[in-house]
Amino acid sequence: MTATGSTTADRLAELAELRARVLAGPSPQSTEAQHAKGKLTARERIGLLLDEGSFHEVEPFRRHTATGFGLESKRPYTDGVITGWGSVHGRTVFLYAHDFRVFGGALGEAHATKIHKIMDMALAAGAPLISLNDGAGARIQEGVRALAGYGGIFRRHTRASGTIPQISVMLGPCAGGAAYSPALTDFVFMVRGISQIFVTGPDVVQAVTGEKITHDGLGGAAVHAGVSGVAHFVHDDEETCLEEVRYLLSLLPQNNREQPPVVSCGDPADRRCEEAARLVPADGNRCYDVREVIETIVDDGELMEIHEQWATNIVVALARMDGRTVGVVANQPSSMAGVLDIHASEKAARFVAMCDAFSIPLVTLLDVPGFLPGVDQEHGGIIRHGAKLLYAYCNATVPRVSVVLRKAYGGAYIVMDSPSIGADAAFAWPSNEIAVMGAEGAANVIFRREIAAADHPEETRQRLVKQYQADLMHPYYAAEHGLVDDVIDPADTRHVVIAALTALRTKHADLPPRKHGNPPQ
């Protein structure tokens, strides 16, 4: 630091010089090294994320006070993390960004204290919190003080959960205890080639298990997007990733006390979706892409799919209908015939809970043949995992509208927001089949003795299958018994759903007084 000037002008000059040093970072060489890895600097990332000129930095001159291992002679400003607030689409957000050029972005005591402060400010202000992660974990030279810093972060993430949106953007390594920070947030973004998340690195894995694996193979974007389910979104570059973070924020409220933002919509609420029926084959054994159905009914065909590459037998997405954000949950017949399994149940359950926390109405599109049978599923806990989705729907107090597109069988029908668990409005297309099971299986069970005793068993079986379909599985059976509110023309789906959501906009539902529920694990 330069000597303190004796006049105001001198002191202002000193401040300007010091601020310039902070903004420049530790050295040109460290910036070049960051760029050489295909990564942007922390300040470049902030510039892409926030509205131009809106960033207000907090504690830019903070430095650590640790000693030992040479730390006392190396005390860079910011201490490896940039914190502050700004705006996205004119709305306030708070953020922190690891600066890998300083101590590899590793967390020390001062570093952690800065993050704690900005997290507290975000919660107090009721505004989203965004973390731009690019750090090497705990600063080993500071020992347990660094670990305690992580504890403070985890506690604040948990307190803020369901109160303000929390978004983790992974733009470098995230190892050890630090990996639990993004896991506690609502959304995790990753970038191919530069993002990795793991609790124990490849060297430790090899030492303990003998398995050889690369950093990307262990915890890269592809792994967490398609295998573990840790990452909700994956992109090819930082610029696209940060632009998508901005788009996600445009769909979310500032906090749990506000409604999501409403935008003007040029897509008429009563627009007929003539192509909807053509997209869904009448034959229940034929597959189709339910995303195309979703695109026909939401505003301008735009949706933001979450966990696109994980548990692909169910689709969860944010979209708008009549300019208002909705959460869409839909079975995906083009993947595993749309059955519910362990991963699909977990994926949908967390999405439903997130939507409920942030006052986002739910639209559920059903075409589900049941839960996936098998020893692996039963031993893996399909009962408790399936119960998570059931619990999430039953616990949700936002407006809930369901539409049966085609088949809805057994317990999976109940779990997928049926009226019996609290759907406010339920509709069905004329192609619907709501039943305990398919006609073939049902006839084989109910009429097994009659079929076995018949002179022509196969002819008898086919006749009885048709009889079961005519008696219990015709499209209007559910409507006759009050299981759906109406059977609708598929082309009217957008208009009918929007009308129901509009009527339910002032819905108020109280849960029993309690500290919190105890959801299935």
Provide the annotated active-site residues.
Answer: 176-177, 411-412
Q: How far apart are CA 425 and CA 399, in angstroms?
A: 9
One-letter amino acid identity for 229?
G
Q: Which of 54, 46, 108 is nearest to 83 (CA)?
A: 46
8 Å CB contact between 93 and 129: yes
DSSP-based three-state secondary structure for 85: strand
Count other C-beta atoms under 10 Å from residue 185's C-beta: 19
Q: What number of residues does the chain have? A: 521
Question: Residue 274 half-sphere exposure, CB side, CA atoms within 13 Å?
Answer: 0
Q: Which DSSP symbol is given to 118?
A: H
8 Å CB contact between 261 and 132: no
Terminal alpha carbon distance of the chain: 55
DSSP-based three-state secondary structure for 237: coil
Q: How far apart are CA 472 and CA 431, in angstroms?
A: 14
Q: Which of 68, 73, 62 is nearest to 116 (CA)?
A: 62
Q: How far apart are CA 68 and CA 70, in angstroms?
A: 5
Listed in sequence order, the residues at least 6 apart from 294 whose beta carbon sits closer than 8 Å to its beta carbon are 303, 315, 317, 319, 328, 330, 365
| Residue 52, CA distances (Å) to 87, 95, 167, 289, 428 in order | 9, 15, 20, 39, 47
Q: Which DSSP symbol is given to 520?
A: -
